[in-house]
Structure 1
Amino acid sequence: MGSPSSHHTPSHGRPSRRLSLLLGCTALVAIPLTAVAQDTDEAGAYRLSPIIVNLSFDADDDAESTVAKELWTGGKVATSILDTPASVAVVTQKEITQRDADKVEDVLEYTPGIVTDYYGTDDRNDYYLVRGFQASTYRDGLTLGSMRGVREEPFAFERLEVMKGGNSTLFGTSDPGGTVNFVTKTPKFYRFGEVYGSYGSHDHAEIGFDVGDVMNEEGTVAYRFVGKVQDASLEYPNSRDDEKFLLGSVAYRPTDVTELTFSVDYLKRDGTPNSGGYPLDRIYDRDQFFGEPSFNYHDVERLTVSAGLRHEFENGLKLNANLRYSDLTDNFGYVYVNDSPTRTGTMVPRDYFGSDSTAEELIGNVILQYDTTVGAADSSTLAGFEFRDASTTSSSFYGNHTPIDTTNPVYTGAPTGYAPYSVQANSFTTKSVFLQQNLSFSDRVIVTVGARHDWLDITNTDRLAGTTTQASFSENSYRAALTYKVTDEISAYASYVQSVAPPSIGTQPERGAQYEAGIKYQPEAYNALFTASVYDLTKSNVVVPVNVPGVGIVRQTIGESRVRGIEFEARAELADGLTLSGGYSYQDSKYVRGVVRGVTVDGNQFATVPNHLASIWLTYDLPDTGSFGDVTVGIGARYIGPYYYNVYNNTGKSPAQTYIDASFSYSFAENTELTINVNNIFDRQYVVGRGTADYYNNGRTITAALRRTW
């Protein structure tokens, strides 16, 4: 899915490295616009006040590499991952293409500290946990907010960035485990293109394109069009997974210090939300279906319009601004198994569940950054304002359906005569101000401090009860970090970050705090990055979703929880065409105190959070075979340790899971490539989720794609 780009190597002069240190600590709050500067010197570096920035590389410089060295979280002002005081993982275009990662869950499944797809054949959302908690999601540094429930399209993005640990000082209200930032594809100011077609298991057919060029002779206007059409089924019977996606963007760069971007994208999904689950008494074949074929739908339609402005003044001052509007409709309904371990006989009860919802959101920010020298220290100061205005509606229904015989399933049709049990309208208004200060001493020591204040106003209207309630919150969050450059290749850091999760009426905001220390190694001899970290993460006022029979999903506060862990990650492009990425994480999760539906959960482990996660992916470019063409083979392995299925720890544990994946690519002509991917080669089947039914992991899939680039 990647597109070719020229590769340049930035110089490593002392002044350039100073600003890299500063920006590495300032990342996550700039805007998605290409970095440029003011005046050039003879060496090709650009001077911003007394600090020199080297801009001899493109913003998507690592699109053709699996080892990202620059962090764009919040924008394309590239900042050094080596000098960022946090554990960061980046999945680039090249890796997404190599592994044929067609869903966000697939993109993230080889990332240490992240467990994905723990609901198996529940396909309503992208499911992943970072360090034991739901990840907060962002697109180009702006929260997805009420758009979070939509399965994102990976082909729309240059890369996915994961920053471990909560950081409300930079992001605003967010969960403490970590953040996932989707970096949107934007114009490149040169001609490029890609078209592909693929076909695979479950009649999965898709075509896509990604093209762009400069529009005028002056080279000041560029465009990019990205599109994908998918016609597919899912693993279970009576399913579909159809999609249409289109992204168009234009960038105007009249001078080297000013750029304006505008983009529109449209996503439409016509799918099925759920297999209905499988009874609890044994392992069933995946081709059995216990839902209801005539009542199994999930329709999503979203329109997004975005704009961004970047301008650099003299003397080190920069202005960045973003604005995004989104409109969403999301409707689903399905019948599912409502089994019990005490059931006798072959007749299994079933229920139905569904929701019709809408969301509308306007979000934007304005950011000023000032770089200068204060005495013997290099200084970077960042201040900003952010706002969000969102509204949602939902109408949810739930009830009993006819039972089904596991030995002779007979479908009885869609439920009739049901009425919604909940009809809600909500509005959310957020205003935020934030300030961050970075000081670099002697190119070795970087001190980072930050503060943020969020004002949140929430209004809820219960349209069935005819009541309206309001709540207001005012929350502070802080951040502090110290980075020490041991050598030009090694950096060590320690940090403290706070998080404030979005509250709801009737609950207090969930607050998180994380202490982390780590070390990173980026050798100059070859393209690689190695990271090791240890952390202690706590969260108070924890709210968990609980399935209450006859009522549905309700949210309940359980008190305090904690995760402690270690993580190791390695990404390297070695000699002789060998590339590796892999990692290991250990997570010790625990509910410190709390009660859920009258049951004490003190000392219990989190649901769906294993103690151990490990993965490795290797690719090897076979020696040049001349006229035969270039051949690359890949092999990957993932291990997911056992985890409890619920917060009570009383419905058993998942088995340890091991998956083997493989890839093969053959460039039989210039810029033309055939790829074959096999996921879950040995077709392992596990119960990955359990509630009123069992949910299984995805079985073996095989996909072949033909791709042409220029």
Structure 2
Amino acid sequence: MSSRLSLPGLLASGTLLGLVSAGAQAQDTGSAVLETMTITTEQETATGPVTGYRAQRSASATGTDTPISETPQSLSVIPAQVLEDLDSPRIERALDFAGGVARQNDFGGLTLYGYSVRGLATSEFYKDGYSVNRGYMNSPDAANIERVEVLKGPVSSLYGRGDPGGTINIVSKRPQSQPFTRIDLSAGRWDRYRSTLDVNTPLDDEATMALRLNAALEDHDSFRDHRAGERQLLAPSFSWTMSPDTRLLMQAEVVRNRQVFDRGVLAPGNRLGLVQRSAYFGEPSDGYVSNNNETLQAELEHDLNDGWSLRLAKHYKQGRLNGYATESAVLQADQRTLARDLRYRDSKWQDAITQFELRGQIYTGDIEHNLLIGAEYERYALDQRLLRSADTRLIDIYMPVYGRPRPAFVTGPDGRSTHINELVYNRALNLQNQLRLNDRLSALIGARYDHYDQRLDNEVAGTRAEQTHEKITPRVGALYQLTPEVGLFANASRSFKPNGGAGANGSPFDPEEGIGYEAGVKFDLLDNRLGITLAAFHLSKKNVLTADRNETGFSIAAGEVRSRGFDAQFSGQLTDAIRVIGAYAYVDAEVRRDNTLEVGGRLLNVPRHSGSLMTVYDFQDGHLHGLEVGGAVNYVGNRAGETENPDFELPSYATVDLLARYKATDNLTLGLNLNNAFDRTYYERSYSNLWVMPGEPRNLAFSLSLNL
């Protein structure tokens, strides 16, 4: 497939908000006429709430409100109900149920974490269709999340830069037409306390204007010694139906986060378990690292007529991360003395994105075309300072004594301390066409053109690197509805992602380029109550940075990785009383070309086998009416624990979580969650045998939900 594809059409379809009206008219023998009745019900939309575990519509894969059953690509949607049942304030546990999503580096637990989809690592996060991984944004908070959507495979034709494994798009909560107020309180082991508030109120009788406020307060210690943190979130949103044809939505989010920076435990001689999973190898006196973010976005939609609409949107975010942290650097020959360095980080960033879209529907003969024409402009600026000391803060890993004198930072052009200014401009044009060829066959054709300018100024070394890239990334897919319950689909698409920095000669690197192929089947079973997607995939990525053999300490874009396998996900209602969600993935991911890594070697933190299942039983009647009980099982196979150390491996593990909810009154619900019920010792992720993050021991949490 050539990236120079000439694509005739482009996409989009708006869809249904759905009003169902029923009129009843009858006449008796006295010729009396009954009054006409109109019943209005809200149906699911791509950005609205989901009943239970199964979403049936999404905009993440196409940019338009489209039934998932008609989308020719694998898409996992984890609704807010899953996060609520897990009593989880972050999305990582929800991602266990997406299938093929593995945990990668989490930057000391402080920011947006890395992850891999179908074996290929990335840190690309989107929220409401906007990139939010620029800078060091905080991890998303469940208090302002309506659903988490994982689009499998390359999506550069829609979003621009990205990795071929897939992309996560988070849909935030929006104002609703009905008033409500909800307060949630929870408390758990290690002095974990959290409270959230969700208030929604229409501002007029017709609910043409509505205001919603989500807020969260969190304070916690940890099973890890000396690790503690606190977070505050405030997220107001406002919607206004200015006329039947014009709609305005404004959303904001402010996050204040302070936490001890923590790289985890280590594995002397590649052996895990020699130090306790609570052992902390930083310095408590370093205190908190602060990460403060502010986001503001607005979108205006206008219907030109019954078939065409315009959308203009603006997204702005800024943030600052700063603080001290002592981090593991070298384990000395005695295998017990750890050399550490002190680091001070101070990073500030701003990111502004403007989007314009024209959506419409046309027909050529009997073929329906749903078109999307979009343009995007982004400006991103980062000022990043890192001060580092020499590896002089020694500590005994078996008998740690804290309070070593704070060492001086090593400044100058030796590379230990850096000051980078980065400026990025990106201009893009997106074209997409969703075609309905007949009652059974539909197709998707799309492409995106990106013009990417990046400048990196190294203020310490006094150097500058610049790069400009132009890229067209196409996507094609088709879905054939074999029966009303069974749909067959296939797709092929490309991806690209710019590589930062420059090589030994000062020239910028070529961007990473990926390609992905997928084929699968979608099932709608039990009268559309249960959805299942099965898919096989083959992905590859080239121009991965690898060591320059001719210039020590420099890189070249010459690596290549490949991933292939099979995954499955399912969600829905088995009966009125049983809701279920789960996934399985087999991923064979390996190095295909590299200057330092072994060809055929496994990729970091990627298990070959992983699977999950959560089910909840809701007692419908009898003495137990109002009670829900359930459990979740998560299995992760063994994984490579360090890129350049094939002898270090993280063992497989399985955890079991139990939950119960009791609706004491119409407005009061009590909850209980027992996590890691069998107290399994396991390790979630690692970057090397010096940075390994263990999982939580068994812990119990209580929650209370109050509707006012």
Q: Is TM > 0.5 for Structure 1 vs Structure 2?
A: yes
How many equivalent residue pairs? 661
> Are 1:621 and 1:632, in contact at CA under 8 Å, matched by a contact in 2?
yes
Corresponding residue for 1:695? 693
Task: Report how far residue 273 of structure 1 moved.
Answer: 1.8
SS in 2 for 1:95: helix
Corresponding residue for 2:34? none
1:182 to 165, 170, 186: 170
Distance between the aligned counterparts of 2:137 and 2:405, measured in 1? 25
> Are 1:208 and 1:229, in contact at CA under 8 Å, matched by a contact in 2?
yes
Distance between the aligned counterparts of 2:21 and 2:618, measured in 1? 39
1:418-457 equivalences in 2 (<5 Å):
418-419=409-410, 421-457=417-453
Corresponding residue for 2:530? 528
Call closer, same or farther: CA 1:261–1:75 in 2, change over 3 Å: farther
Corresponding residue for 2:520? 518
2:543 to 535, 541, 545: 541
Call closer, same or farther: CA 1:292–1:124 in 2, change over 3 Å: farther
1:460 to 437, 456, 459: 456
1:325 and 2:321 matched: no
> Are 2:48 and 2:174, in contact at CA under 8 Å, matched by a contact in 1?
no
Corresponding residue for 1:573? 573
1:411 and 2:407 matched: no
Call closer, same or farther: CA 1:170–1:315 in 2, change over 3 Å: same
2:55 to 55, 63, 68: 68
Where do 5+ consecutive residues of structure 1 fail to align? Answer: 1-24, 45-53
SS in 2 for 1:443: coil
1:22-33 equivalences in 2 (<5 Å):
none
Corresponding residue for 1:303? 294
What one-letter code is carried by the residue in structure 1 that aligns with 2:132?
Answer: L
Corresponding residue for 1:601? 598
Distance between the aligned counterparts of 2:20 and 2:658, measured in 1? 48
Corresponding residue for 1:492? 488
Distance between the aligned counterparts of 2:147 and 2:323, measured in 1? 29
Call closer, same or farther: CA 1:127–1:237 in 2, change over 3 Å: same
Call closer, same or farther: CA 1:283–1:444 in 2, change over 3 Å: same
Call closer, same or farther: CA 1:377–1:202 in 2, change over 3 Å: same
Task: Report how far residue 100 of structure 1 moved.
Answer: 1.2
2:622 to 609, 620, 625: 625
SS in 2 for 1:522: strand
Corresponding residue for 2:93? 106
1:177-576 equivalences in 2 (<5 Å):
177-275=165-263, 277-280=265-268, 282-340=273-331, 343-344=333-334, 346-399=336-389, 400-413=391-404, 415-419=406-410, 421-505=417-501, 506-523=508-525, 525-543=527-545, 557-575=557-575
Moved more, 414-423 or 459-468: 414-423
> Are 1:166 and 1:513, in contact at CA under 8 Å, matched by a contact in 2?
yes
Distance between the aligned counterparts of 1:315 and 1:408, measured in 2? 72
> Are 1:121 and 1:696, in contact at CA under 8 Å, matched by a contact in 2?
no
Moved more, 107-116 or 280-289: 280-289
Moved more, 155-164 or 73-82: 73-82
Task: Report how far residue 514 of structure 1 moved.
Answer: 0.3
1:97 and 2:84 matched: yes
2:702 to 693, 701, 704: 704
Call closer, same or farther: CA 1:622–1:343 in 2, change over 3 Å: farther
Distance between the aligned counterparts of 1:568 and 1:156, measured in 2? 28
1:664 and 2:660 matched: yes
Task: Report how far residue 36 of structure 1 moved.
Answer: 5.5
Call closer, same or farther: CA 1:339–1:279 in 2, change over 3 Å: farther
Distance between the aligned counterparts of 1:682 and 1:433, measured in 2? 52
Task: Report how far residue 649 of structure 1 moved.
Answer: 4.5
> Are 1:300 and 1:329, in contact at CA under 8 Å, matched by a contact in 2?
yes
Call closer, same or farther: CA 1:526–1:457 in 2, change over 3 Å: closer
What one-letter code is carried by the residue in structure 1 that aligns with 2:55?
Answer: A
Call closer, same or farther: CA 1:181–1:605 in 2, change over 3 Å: same
> Are 1:526 and 1:573, in contact at CA under 8 Å, matched by a contact in 2?
no
Call closer, same or farther: CA 1:468–1:406 in 2, change over 3 Å: closer
Moved more, 491-500 or 63-72: 63-72
Cα distance per residue 1:588-615 (max 9 Å; x no partner): 01111111xxx24322111111110111
Corresponding residue for 2:43? 57
What one-letter code is carried by the residue in structure 2 that aligns with 1:348?
Answer: L
Distance between the aligned counterparts of 1:704 and 1:556, measured in 2? 52
Cα distance per residue 1:140-192 (max 9 Å; x no partner): 11111414642121211111100011111111111111110111111112212
> Are 2:494 and 2:513, in contact at CA under 8 Å, matched by a contact in 1?
yes
SS in 2 for 1:94: helix
SS in 1 for 2:483: coil
Distance between the aligned counterparts of 1:414 and 1:247, measured in 2? 42
CA RMSD of aligned residues (A): 2.7
SS in 1 for 2:633: strand
Distance between the aligned counterparts of 1:699 and 1:396, measured in 2? 34
Corresponding residue for 2:71? 84
Distance between the aligned counterparts of 1:499 and 1:682, measured in 2? 42
Cα distance per residue 1:645-687 (max 9 Å; x no partner): 1223523221111111111111111131111112211221134
Call closer, same or farther: CA 1:591–1:406 in 2, change over 3 Å: closer
What one-letter code is carried by the residue in structure 2 that aligns with 1:625?
Answer: G
1:613 to 610, 620, 636: 610
> Are 2:11 and 2:359, in contact at CA under 8 Å, matched by a contact in 1?
no
SS in 1 for 2:640: coil
Moved more, 394-403 or 277-286: 277-286
Call closer, same or farther: CA 1:500–1:43 in 2, change over 3 Å: farther
SS in 2 for 1:97: helix
Task: Report how far residue 216 of structure 1 moved.
Answer: 1.9
Distance between the aligned counterparts of 2:680 and 2:343, measured in 1? 30
Corresponding residue for 1:3? none
What one-letter code is carried by the residue in structure 2 that aligns with 1:274?
Answer: D
Cα distance per residue 1:99-144 (max 9 Å; x no partner): 1122121221222111126669755442421112215211111111
1:157 to 145, 159, 164: 145
SS in 2 for 1:286: coil
Task: Report how far residue 477 of structure 1 moved.
Answer: 0.5
Cα distance per residue 1:428-453 (max 9 Å; x no partner): 00000011112212221112111111
Distance between the aligned counterparts of 1:498 and 1:74, measured in 2? 14
Task: Report how far residue 368 of structure 1 moved.
Answer: 0.5
Call closer, same or farther: CA 1:556–1:651 in 2, change over 3 Å: farther
Cα distance per residue 1:189-231 (max 9 Å; x no partner): 2212211111111111011101111112343211000000111
What one-letter code is carried by the residue in structure 2 that aligns with 1:608?
Answer: N
> Are 1:276 and 1:335, in contact at CA under 8 Å, matched by a contact in 2?
no
Task: Report how far residue 43 of structure 1 moved.
Answer: 7.4
Moved more, 357-366 or 466-475: 466-475
Corresponding residue for 2:35? none
Distance between the aligned counterparts of 2:657 and 2:556, measured in 1? 39
Call closer, same or farther: CA 1:651–1:555 in 2, change over 3 Å: farther
